Structure 1
Amino acid sequence: MLHRNISNGFRSLLIGLSAIGAAGCSVAQEDSFTLVTELPPGFEVKGEAIYTPRTGETCTVPPKSGKSHPGSKIFKQGPSEKAQTAHFTIPLSSTGDGCPLVLKRFDYEVDAKYGAARLNLGRDYTSIAFEDAKANSQPSPSPLSLKRECEWLFRTIGSNRYITKILKCKAIETPQPEKDSATSSISRTQLAGKTLTVEFSLSKEERPYMGDTWIKFPEGWKRCMGENLDDQYGFCRGNTKDFKSFKMPDGRECTVYPNCTE
């Protein structure tokens, strides 16, 4: 009889622990979301989740102590020669020194290579803002998704006129409203337990970084002469006949971009 009672008690304990574990998972899921980031080949990202005191709280975010910083959590995805997808579990709240914190912003640092050299690197930044649920707010569409299109802006630098590129990423139309070209705003409540996908794409077209410095022809872009070969700005100023050569990142001498030769 004692053995049977012990067995029954142990079985009840296991059931109770399972229920607590399931509830714990449910609470964890409700207090976080999955951030899926789709990247083109050659791209890498570093993300920072930034937390602020919950609305109505008078406490402050505690300062960083060693590697611990309740107000900031870092997420990384390294580069790959192929397109890749990163999955991050982002907490919607945090606590520091008894101060209740909520997710305020997720900042992306986007890096991409355009050449083999170490400095042949472009970088840009984009953010997602999070806010309290508004009264009578409509549920977010499912699945939740945001899109960022990146493009290369090219220019020449130095007396040898080497091509260098600047990476620029902007938001493009999605079911979620965009406040501006770099930031989206989403309700934390509507995001709890869900998946948000941020898709980065790379435009096939490149364009000059500075206006009135290149002229586009059927065979490609030609670099305007400006006042002379040493003119660093080299504005066209209506001169559509005089151009100067430049060098690709790999050292090739070229007269038209991106095909190099006409």
Structure 2
Amino acid sequence: MKRVIQSLIFGSCTALTVGCSATGKTDSFTFTADLPPSFAYVATVYYVPAEGQTCTVPTADNLSPQFNREWRTEYKPDAQINLRRTRNGCDLVLHRITLDINATYGKERGDFGGDSANVAVRETLLETSKGTFNAAGESEFSGQCQWLFRTSGKPRILRKILDCKNTDAQGVVTKGHPFAAYTLDQLPGKTVRLNIKLADEEEPYMGDTWVKVPNGWKHCMGDNFEDQDAFCFGNYTDFSTFKMADGRHCTIYPGCTENKEVTP
């Protein structure tokens, strides 16, 4: 018993340590993320029966663990994720991690946007499909998120949509959401990092609704102020005001300087 206590104190892996197997080997890895300010991720972890298993486990007995579920108030970038577990006598292995990338742009609860990223884990993969690790045992996959803006409602309140895309090793945006894949035997004791950059410029969510001007974008009027689509349709002289998340009424985004007073 004394040896077990000493092992726990000094960080050695024992059968009693979270993320360790009965053989004493680390059976977990660390997932973490480098995100822009006001960003956070929520990780949902899915397990399936290991290869060769003929058992099945009802969803109610195989609930998916979540990390950073309360991302607004209790966010932690590091998550320790187990690679295996047993439910109802069935040996399960990690299959995938779904990542919700959330970011806030205002103070109200609804002033946020979200998109996704994914990590796939398989018992075997083609070498060209597997993520790689450096000498320190770290692997990184990356993406770029961009704010897309539009207005909604009769007051034409400005809302933002988060759009996240995968990027290659050179930082060039590619198709799809940020994604990485690993085999089970790659991950014990390692660290997988998601690195997200924020695009320098925001863009309209829909084409032909805003017009580019020297210090930002102007919103086309459309048929009238209550026209929710408000497509320009060649009319690039009639523009509408809109309301920012902080209450300002503006005519240009993001260069709204004509009214710095916050309205009720």
Please tell me the TM-score bracket, short chain as reference. Answer: 0.7 to 0.9
Which residue of structure 2 lines up, in the alignment, with residue 242 of structure 1?
Answer: 238
Aligned equivalent of 1:52, options 37, 48, 55: 48
Structure 2: gaps (5+ residues): 259-264
Alpha carbons of 1:222 and 1:148: their partners in 2 closer, same or farther (altered >3 Å)?
Answer: same
Which residue of structure 2 lines up, in the alignment, with residue 154 of structure 1?
Answer: 149
CA distance in 1, matches of 2:177, 2:210: 25
Q: Which amino acid aligns with 2:141?
A: L
Aligned equivalent of 1:167, options 162, 169, 174: 162
Q: Which amino acid aligns with 1:148?
A: G
> Is residue 34 of structure 2 the alignment partner of residue 38 of structure 1?
yes
CA distance in 2, matches of 1:130, 1:153: 31
Alpha carbons of 1:55 and 1:217: their partners in 2 closer, same or farther (altered >3 Å)?
Answer: same
Which residue of structure 2 lines up, in the alignment, with residue 145 of structure 1?
Answer: 140
User: Cα deviations across residues 111-152 of structure 1 (Å, max 9, x unaligned)?
Assistant: 221111222122222211111223667782423101132221
Which residue of structure 2 lines up, in the alignment, with residue 4 of structure 1?
Answer: none
Preserved contact between residue 162 and residue 247 of structure 1 (Cα < 8 Å): yes
Alpha carbons of 1:139 and 1:109: their partners in 2 closer, same or farther (altered >3 Å)?
Answer: closer
Per the normalisation by structure 2, the TM-score is 0.79
Which residue of structure 2 lines up, in the alignment, with residue 103 of structure 1?
Answer: 94
User: Cα deviations across residues 1-47 of structure 1 (Å, max 9, x unaligned)?
Assistant: xxxxxxxxx9xx959x96xx656477465421111222322222221
Q: Which amino acid aligns with 1:114?
A: Y
SS at match of 2:186: helix
Alpha carbons of 1:217 and 1:70: their partners in 2 closer, same or farther (altered >3 Å)?
Answer: same
Preserved contact between residue 62 and residue 97 of structure 1 (Cα < 8 Å): no
Q: Matches of residues 158-237 of structure 1 in structure 2 within 5 Å?
A: 158-174=153-169, 180-237=176-233
Aligned residue pairs total: 240
Per the normalisation by structure 1, the TM-score is 0.79
Structure exhibiting the larger radius of gyration computed from Cα positions: 1
Preserved contact between residue 131 and residue 139 of structure 2 (Cα < 8 Å): no
Structure with bigger helix share is 1
Structure 1: gaps (5+ residues): 1-9
Q: How many percent of aligned residue pairs carry the same amino acid?
A: 39
Q: Which amino acid aligns with 2:115?
A: D
The CA RMSD measured in Å over matched residues stands at: 3.0
> Is residue 117 of structure 2 the alignment partner of residue 126 of structure 1?
yes
Q: Which amino acid aligns with 2:182?
A: I
SS at match of 2:208: coil
